[in-house]
């Protein structure tokens, strides 16, 4: 009886997604580490590759700056700046070119007004707000009964749904940025054929982490809905 009381069978829903997420993260870091050890034949650093991609795409006014950390690379649309990590900014490795060009791809999306990227940008503040308050509200709802419980739980699930929607919209944005990056890497001869395959491996592994995160968030939402219905 005590075991049945504490065991929540809905955890079975998200367990596979969590396992997939862990595997995806391991593969992403493994691919990045592997190709961070191999210099590219063109001698291009990450910063130079990003700058060349922007130039080929006709995008101007974008700053490229170094940032601390590992795999902390990102594009900030608020100040039109590409932030490249220490292992990417001034390193002339295969991984550096792939990652830097991916982030430059986001800058091109922003410049061209890529629709999924615009939708994602609109969802950012709501997603952060929803992620922060959703679970506390649901937990509070479980402490009450009747209409009060329903109100807190429904609001919590609605807020979490916004966060889930954000992860779903993020998928085409990330895949498109990698597609743009790989296309110009090949057309601009940033890397030779074998090196290109390595850069593609890095970006493909990174993309799978977003797929895993989306799957996890969707299944977590389903779990919360099931718990809410069971509670009622």
For the question of residue 103 being annotated catalytic, the response is yes
Selecting among 103, 112, 174, 193, the annotated active-site residue is: 103
Number of helices followed by number of strands (H, E) in the chain = 8, 3
Vertex 13 angle, CA 7 and 18, to 5°: 100
pTM above 0.85, yes or no: yes
Q: Give how far the C-alpha of residue 22 lies from the chain's centroid of Cα atoms, to the nearest Å.
A: 14
Q: How confident is the model at residue 5 (pLDDT cuts 50, 70, 90)?
A: very low
Q: Model confidence over 81-127: pLDDT tens digits?
A: 999 999 999 999 999 999 999 999 999 999 999 999 999 999 999 99
Relative to beta strand 81-85, strand 63-67 is parallel
Distance CA 101, CA 104 (A): 5
Ranges of each domain in the chain: 7-231
Q: Is the pLDDT of residue 4 over 70?
A: no
Q: Is the pLDDT of residue 149 over 80?
A: yes
Mean pLDDT, all residues of the chain: 93
Q: Model confidence over 34-83: pLDDT tens digits?
A: 999 999 999 999 999 999 999 999 999 999 999 999 999 999 999 999 99
């Amino acid at each position: 009886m005590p075991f049945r009381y504490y065991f929540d069978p809905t955890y079975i829903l998200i367990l596979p997604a969590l396992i997939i997420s862990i595997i995806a993260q391991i593969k992403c870091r493994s691919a990045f580490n592997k190709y961070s050890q191999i210099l590219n034949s063109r001698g291009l650093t990450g910063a130079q590759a990003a700058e060349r991609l922007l130039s080929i795409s006709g995008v101007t006014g974008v700053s490229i700056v170094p940032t601390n950390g590992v795999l902390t690379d990102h594009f900030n649309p608020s100040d039109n700046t590409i932030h490249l990590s220490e292992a990417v900014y001034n390193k002339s490795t295969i991984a550096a070119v792939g990652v830097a060009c991916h982030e430059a791809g986001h800058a091109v999306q922003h410049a061209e007004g890529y629709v999924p990227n615009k939708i994602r940008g609109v969802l950012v503040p709501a997603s952060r707000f929803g992620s922060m308050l959703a679970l506390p509200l649901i937990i509070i709802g479980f402490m009450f009964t009747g209409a009060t419980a329903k109100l807190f739980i429904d609001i919590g699930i609605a807020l979490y749904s916004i966060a889930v929607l954000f992860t779903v919209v993020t998928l085409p944005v990330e895949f498109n940025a990698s597609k743009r990056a790989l296309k110009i890497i090949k057309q601009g001869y940033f890397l030779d054929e074998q090196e290109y395959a390595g850069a593609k491996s890095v970006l493909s592994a990174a993309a799978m982490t977003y797929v895993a995160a989306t799957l996890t968030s969707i299944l977590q939402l389903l779990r919360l809905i099931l718990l809410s219905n069971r509670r009622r």
